[in-house]
A and B are shown apart, each in its own frame.
Chain A
């Protein structure tokens, strides 16, 4: 049996490890043009903030893949011939597969800005983007960050740490609009507005970029204002790398459509990570949750199914944890007000100054968001996966989330899932 894994980052790396575990004698070929070592992309924000070195982002090197017996092809996959079972590589070589995993990830979404210098807008997706941003960092200078999502927020924090003044330009009425509820969104907006060096511009977008008079770039905003900046960087989300699959015959939407076993329209081909559009546990439709833990989990599930070990995937679930001005903000499932209209929510008591909200729909928990709350969103994510009902969450848990015994403990609402030790 020959397994071919296209893309060796979060999902692909995890898949290689589980393929080897499930099938010790199989041939595994890894296809990825990225130079070794493989690193964790989300960590570039920590490297930008100076909290870690770029070298510390490494999660897998040649020795890792060698120890798994994975043959590496350092090339880009450019074509897929489903009928003949072949993956075409950029050199013209073709690799045959019995089972194929598409884990080729996603690239940054264009900023949608016009102008002669629009190519000067940096993205923040990988280490080349990090190097490009670092080249343009000027302590004491001015930066513009386009996009008020998690990437835009991390960029802002990183550039602040590098001594730059930052204009955070957000198209929505508040930052993190898609990731947190209104309370946390307002809290973050206030902290940003009060933070020295940050100018938060909500309901604003950049129309054009041209050469500046006093600084390298001049950004023209839809409000009529213009900003002169040393650096402009965008975090506007991601676009799955599916262009090379357009003629493959696989079902494509925003990403590669896959079922609850992460299998695509062809039974030999699976998808995982940022390229896979799979049923969402909370929303019901097929979605892409481009976050690290989801990709690693999907890599494992896809690998086990490819190797014939049945592994069910309950569905993808949005989850995030980021430090915000010394506080820890965590969210899981549906917490965005755009998706939670008509839902019931419960705020749990917590330590002073903390915030923990649980969101229910049709009496079942579908999301939770916390700020400086006891770090038990993992427990709530577990509860979402199990479809825990509101009435099964005991009052003693809601009254004392800092010290309450886990819901999955014997006697708890999720009992039966508890392990012995």
Chain B
């Protein structure tokens, strides 16, 4: 279980797509937007803004399920759980782009793009890696850093649930937070 994870509050999302841009930037070779857009293999976002009822935006990313249907469906064992605790991460060097993982994912968060890290740069599965390298360096995931409305936050799950209990308690006693 992840101690800290990206919490999504879709009701706060305004659909600005900054999370998508910063996600792609963080996964580019140069890690800077101005140069990333000129790279041979364009980095792609691993978070997507889906369209919900009445065109309401919905930020959609990998939930790193346990057990993960994508990992069970992956024939070459390219989806690993030993890279960072609680995260399911695609190894582009092993991925063969067969599409079984995307077929198994209940959340439609696995897409197929050419990847700079795959030998020969074929089209492979691309999905959220939890920005594990940024997090290991003490930073927050790129999508969270980009979100200005609080729709994406990086929090301890238990603290988040505790805060939910507090909100419920305040609502029950008629106190506005």
Contact = CB atoms under 8 A, between A and B. Distances in A.
A374 interface: yes
A377 to B, nearest CB: 5
A375 B75 contact: no
A46 interface: yes
Interface in B124-176: 157, 160
A42 B75 contact: yes
A249 interface: no
B143 to A, nearest CB: 11
Nearest to A368: B103
A198 B23 CA distance: 44
Contacts of B67: 300
A43 B96 CA distance: 9
A85 B61 CA distance: 48
B72 interface: yes
Given A296-B72, A404-B51, A420-B160, A375 B99 contact: yes
Interface string A262-288: 000000000000000000000000000
A419 B7 CA distance: 9
Given A40-B75, A419-B65, A56 B94 contact: yes
Contacts of B110: 375
B100 A406 contact: no
Nearest to A331: B103
Contacts of B112: 328, 375
Interface stretch (A177-185, A223-231, A338-346, A407-415): A407-415
A381 interface: yes
A408 B106 contact: yes
B107 A328 contact: no
B58 A405 contact: yes
A52 interface: yes
A400 B48 CA distance: 14
Contact of A379 (B51, B97, B108): B108
A375 B52 CA distance: 18
A276 to B, nearest CB: 16
Interface residues of B, number: 42
Contacts of A379: 105-108
B104 interface: yes
Contacts of A419: 63, 65
A374 B60 CA distance: 15
Contact of A332 (B53, B76, B77, B103): B103
A375 B110 CA distance: 8
A322 B98 contact: yes
Contact of A292 (B7, B8, B73, B157): B73
Contacts of B104: 293, 319, 378, 381
A79 interface: no
A409 B94 contact: no
Given A40-B76, A403-B51, A411-B10, A420 B103 contact: no
Given A292-B100, A379-B106, A410 B10 contact: yes
Contact of A378 (B58, B60, B102): B102
A382 B69 CA distance: 10
Contacts of B63: 419, 421
Interface of B: 5-8, 10, 48, 50-53, 56, 58, 60-61, 63, 65, 67, 69-70, 72-73, 75-77, 94, 96-100, 102-108, 110-112, 157, 160
Given A56-B94, A406-B58, 4 more contacts: A321-B102, A406-B107, A406-B108, A408-B106
28 contacts: A14-B72, A43-B76, A46-B98, A52-B96, A292-B75, A293-B100, A296-B73, A321-B102, A321-B103, A374-B108, A375-B108, A376-B108, A378-B104, A381-B104, A394-B53, A396-B52, A404-B50, A405-B50, A405-B60, A406-B50, A409-B52, A409-B58, A409-B60, A410-B10, A411-B52, A412-B52, A421-B7, A421-B63
